[in-house]
A and B are shown apart, each in its own frame.
Chain A
Amino acid sequence: MTKTYSLTLTIKRYDPDRSARWFQTYRLDSGPILRFVDLFRRINVEQDATLAWASSCEHAQCGSCSVNVNGRPMLACELLVENAVTLFGTTVFKIAPVSVAPVIRDLVVDWEKAYERVHRAKPYLIKPKELPPGMTEHRISPQELARYEEATRCINCFCCAEACISGNRTFIGPNAAMAGIVRMMDSREKEKEERLDLLYSEEGIYRCHTSKACSHVCPKQIDVAHFIALAKEGAF
């Protein structure tokens, strides 16, 4: 028979109607391979329908369900109970919304506000390079692509921005910076000046203290700090 864990989830709540903030504790027994999103769903069905939490794809591809678990930003959709118990050495978990965006209710934050920084970094080709004569597509060697391909896996879950010791008020943030860096490295982008202006601006990469917390917490295992380091060296 499978193992059962007796879990204590203390969840930070917020009710906009009463402007009330409080911690609420839920206790539940769970098998080892339920995920934290499954636990939230069970809380809704079995204990408290009012608890609001965010998710969408629930397989680590959309970055909607980021929360702080015992102070560490993580995706609730891929955190298995037994892994959480191993990682934190406890069955007691304190869960809070991420702080990179205002809280709307309970664990749900206003991602739109967080995304404003990514939009400032212009996540598209500002001036796409023309196709060479006679060609219908650009040629990009696998070696060239390999230099920045890892950064294109970013799902903007903002776990890196949450963990970043530079805070999220003065620094545009690791993921938004990376959105600009990728397009500096992409040979199809002609508008490099504007990108450099942002990357070296007041909110740019020199706000980064190189703690590498971003790489440490990235759920997609992207070495975010590596890309910021490249930008600091100008090695695009």
Chain B
Amino acid sequence: MGKKLHIHSTSTCDVLIIGAGGAGLRCAAHLHERRPDLLIFTVTKVAHPQKSHTSTAQGGMAAVDPKDKTDQSLYHMFDTWKGGDCASDQNVVKKIVDGGWEEVQWLERKGIHFSRDEGGNISKRQFGGHTVEFGKGDALRAVFVADRTGKGIMDTAWGEALKGGSRFINTTVVTELLFNEGCCVGAVLFKVKEGEFITVLAKATVLATGGSGQVFRITTNCRNNTGDGLAVILRAGLPVMDPEAVQFHPTGIVGPGILASEALRSEGGILRNKELEPFMERYAPKMKDLAPRDIVARAIETEIREGRGIMDPDHQIEHVWIDLRHLPDYVHEVKLKEVASFFKTYANLDSRTQLCPVRPSNHYHMGGIPTNEHGEVLTTANTVVPGLFAVGECACASLHGFNRLGTNSLLELLVMGRYAGERVLSGLKEKLAPAPKGAGEATLALFTSYLEAQGKENVGLIRQEMREVMTRKVGVFRIEKGMQEAIASLIAFKQRVAKVAISTKDTRMNQELLERWELDNLLDSAMAIAQGALMRKESRGAHFREDYPERSDEFQFHTLVSMTDFGKVSFGKRPIDMGICDAKGEYYEQFRIMPRKY
């Protein structure tokens, strides 16, 4: 056994931002602009902020251009409300949509390389679910940086945070939030590279830790998206909201799960099963392959479940085909260049002559840490936790409700990053509060238990099994019996992980130790997702129950899940804000509860 674990040092700062992707760094940049005197720590799990998952977003960022006479904010709000299956908070939807174009201008002034039209103005493109005049026509609402909009945003936000003087603490994770008389006063961090535990005291703490996609076997999410923020919140006795709201993209490339965009189907790609039958005709006779994401995802899953999928021998995953062979060379070489190159890179296939393997891939967690429209974290009783904020994918305000529209996530992370920064400033105290007694003890005990555990279990193996179970039983299709089985499996996994022995005892860059901790976070996230999904006896947005296939007004609320001991959850409810409808302004009748039909 190595040295006894201890808290290496205690640092202080004004604002501690945990997570340095788009949301965290937009918040940091705003704070630097407004108050250059503040000391800001930005913590990231990756080796450098530029490596964050935000960089992988492809298509665009939705924002209504006030110069565009054909579009208006109310249309965008309507699309978001409808797309989210009437589970978004309208006060949040309004606030975020209204702040969109200011973000575009901010990015543009700070040097993002937006794609341009012939006149040199910022180009816009159409995206699924975005309409004008309440569904009457397509909206040109997404600004973009070629096919790498997230990277453009990440590079700009990172550059501005660097320029502003953020102190970056890289390759570091948050293991414990610190509270003093109900206020968040900082956090305990584990510096993975140095193998050190440190305490950071701050006047405000902002969580921006990203998603939880690694809960599922096939995901578009990066290796680091292990639900760390959710787990830390649950361990602090705070709730997670709508954890069951998980989006699956219908066409991830087998095996790595990388997103193969909708463009494949809109350009004429046809989904085929093992018998090469164009099966979408059976599920959506009119729209066929152009049906909405969730319908296509369920159709593909059904084909696979009923034995009409194909097994990929290398990755051991079943899939269907997307057939692009009939499309003209021009489409392959120009319009689908990037996606076609993904098939070449990751499956060594030529989409012009070969069938390409796709299957539903976990994509986005709509649920997360409950906040209000300022990014302030809320308790089960809907009261603000002073000093604690959450933004980005780890948070749930909720803009997306139960189904996110494409391009709305980049919008959310920027606008909410700025709003949270603004709120941090308005409430910033003069003095730091001291650390509570026993700060860090829970962390040290947890990591000591990991290092001292004995047994023959293997983190990688348990993680694989968990991801398989969650994909099969709490994925695109959900049914009571399956979810109960999944919960039983999760409890069994939790018992097994206690028998994982870590052979590397030195804590520096100890991948085994980090992955052991991550597995606990994954299990906590998975449990919250499964329990939320089991409780919600209806289908809404991306949450589809085979035993309750319709949406039900009985469940017109947000789920709050708290978990004191693993598997022991308690539920709370938060009302869904209907502010736009209730204000009875122009077009308010478009914001009533309505069926989600396209």
Interface residues of B, count at CB 8 A: 70
- Known contacts A62-B222, A123-B158, A124-B159; decide if A145 and B346 are in contact (CB<8 Å): no
B315 contacts across to A, CB distance below 8 A? 33-34, 38
B345 contacts across to A, CB distance below 8 A? 60, 78, 80
Q: Which residue of chain A has its CB nearest to the CB of B193? A: A104
How far apart sit A16 and B506, CA to CA, in the bound complex (Å)? 8
Contact B159 A123 (CB under 8 A): yes
Tell me, yes or no, whether A131 is within 8 Å of chain B by CB. yes
A105 contacts across to B, CB distance below 8 A? 508-511
A103 shortest CB reach to chain B, Å: 9
Tell me, yes or no, whether A58 is within 8 Å of chain B by CB. yes
From A31, A111, A188, B111 is in contact (CB under 8 Å) with A188
Tell me, yes or no, whether A63 is within 8 Å of chain B by CB. yes
A149 contacts across to B, CB distance below 8 A? 113, 146
From A33, A44, A137, A142, B348 is in contact (CB under 8 Å) with A33
Tell me, yes or no, whether A21 is within 8 Å of chain B by CB. no
Interface residues of A, count at CB 8 A: 69
Per-residue 0/1 for A167-198: is the Cβ within 8 Å of any B Cβ (1 yes, 0 no)?
00000000000000001001011000000000
Contact B223 A44 (CB under 8 A): no
How far apart sit A123 and B109, CA to CA, in the bound complex (Å)? 14
B144 shortest CB reach to chain A, Å: 13
Contact B109 A131 (CB under 8 A): yes
Contact A50 B504 (CB under 8 A): yes
B461 contacts across to A, CB distance below 8 A? 45
Tell me, yes or no, whether A2 is within 8 Å of chain B by CB. yes
B113 contacts across to A, CB distance below 8 A? 145, 149, 152, 186
Interface residues of A in 59-94 (CB under 8 A from B): 59-64, 77-78, 80, 82-83
How far apart sit A111 and B170, CA to CA, in the bound complex (Å)? 9
Contact B51 A56 (CB under 8 A): yes
B458 contacts across to A, CB distance below 8 A? 45, 49
How far apart sit A68 and B55, CA to CA, in the bound complex (Å)? 24
A141 contacts across to B, CB distance below 8 A? 116, 118, 120
A128 contacts across to B, CB distance below 8 A? 109-111
B73 shortest CB reach to chain A, Å: 16
A229 contacts across to B, CB distance below 8 A? none
B118 contacts across to A, CB distance below 8 A? 141-142
**Segment of B42-50, B422-430, B434-442, B471-479 in the binding face:** B42-50
Q: Which residue of chain A has its CB nearest to the CB of B461? A: A45
Contact A45 B464 (CB under 8 A): yes
Contact A49 B509 (CB under 8 A): no
- Residue of B51, B222, B502, B505 contacting most chain A CB atoms (<10 Å): B51
A31 contacts across to B, CB distance below 8 A? 313-314
Contact A111 B508 (CB under 8 A): no
B110 contacts across to A, CB distance below 8 A? 124-125, 128
How far apart sit A136 and B103, CA to CA, in the bound complex (Å)? 12
- Residue of A55, A105, A183 contacting most chain B CB atoms (<10 Å): A105
Contact A110 B111 (CB under 8 A): no
How far apart sit A2 and B357, CA to CA, in the bound complex (Å)? 15
Tell me, yes or no, whether B163 is within 8 Å of chain A by CB. yes
Contact B460 A111 (CB under 8 A): no
B432 shortest CB reach to chain A, Å: 27
B240 shortest CB reach to chain A, Å: 24
How far apart sit A142 and B113, CA to CA, in the bound complex (Å)? 10
How far apart sit A119 and B53, CA to CA, in the bound complex (Å)? 20
B219 shortest CB reach to chain A, Å: 10
Contact A56 B258 (CB under 8 A): no
A61 shortest CB reach to chain B, Å: 5
From B120, B223, B342, B346, A56 is in contact (CB under 8 Å) with B223
A16 shortest CB reach to chain B, Å: 5
Tell me, yes or no, whether A52 is within 8 Å of chain B by CB. yes
A41 contacts across to B, CB distance below 8 A? 460
Query: Would you call the interface of chain A mostly helix, strand, loop, or mixed?
Result: loop
- Known contacts A45-B458, A131-B109, A137-B121; decide if A111 and B256 are in contact (CB<8 Å): no
Contact A112 B170 (CB under 8 A): yes
Tell me, yes or no, whether B160 is within 8 Å of chain A by CB. yes
How far apart sit A155 and B132, CA to CA, in the bound complex (Å)? 36
- Known contacts A58-B222, A142-B116, A145-B113; decide if A2 and B314 are in contact (CB<8 Å): yes
How far apart sit A124 and B269, CA to CA, in the bound complex (Å)? 40
Tell me, yes or no, whether B148 is within 8 Å of chain A by CB. yes
- Known contacts A125-B111, A142-B118; decide if A56 and B509 are in contact (CB<8 Å): no
Tell me, yes or no, whether A156 is within 8 Å of chain B by CB. yes
A70 shortest CB reach to chain B, Å: 19
Tell me, yes or no, whether B255 is within 8 Å of chain A by CB. yes
A108 contacts across to B, CB distance below 8 A? 509, 511
Contact B111 A124 (CB under 8 A): yes
A153 contacts across to B, CB distance below 8 A? 148, 151
Contact A58 B159 (CB under 8 A): no
Tell me, yes or no, whether B492 is within 8 Å of chain A by CB. no
Contact A49 B121 (CB under 8 A): no
How far apart sit A42 and B224, CA to CA, in the bound complex (Å)? 17
Q: Which residue of chain B has its CB nearest to the CB of A77? A: B256
A38 contacts across to B, CB distance below 8 A? 255, 315
Q: Which 6 A-B pairs have the closest CB atoms?
A: A124-B159, A31-B314, A139-B120, A45-B460, A17-B506, A111-B47
Q: List 13 A-B contacts (CB under 8 A).
A: A2-B313, A2-B314, A31-B314, A55-B223, A62-B222, A80-B345, A108-B509, A111-B170, A124-B160, A125-B111, A128-B111, A131-B109, A145-B115
Which positions in A face B, CB cutoff 8 Å?
A: 1-2, 15-17, 30-35, 38, 41, 44-45, 49-64, 77-78, 80, 82-83, 104-105, 108, 110-112, 115, 119, 122-126, 128, 131, 136-142, 144-145, 149, 152-153, 155-156, 183, 186, 188-189
**13 additional contacts (CB under 8 A) given A44-B460, A62-B55, A112-B171:** A2-B313, A45-B460, A50-B504, A52-B509, A56-B47, A56-B51, A62-B46, A63-B50, A112-B170, A123-B158, A124-B163, A128-B109, A145-B115
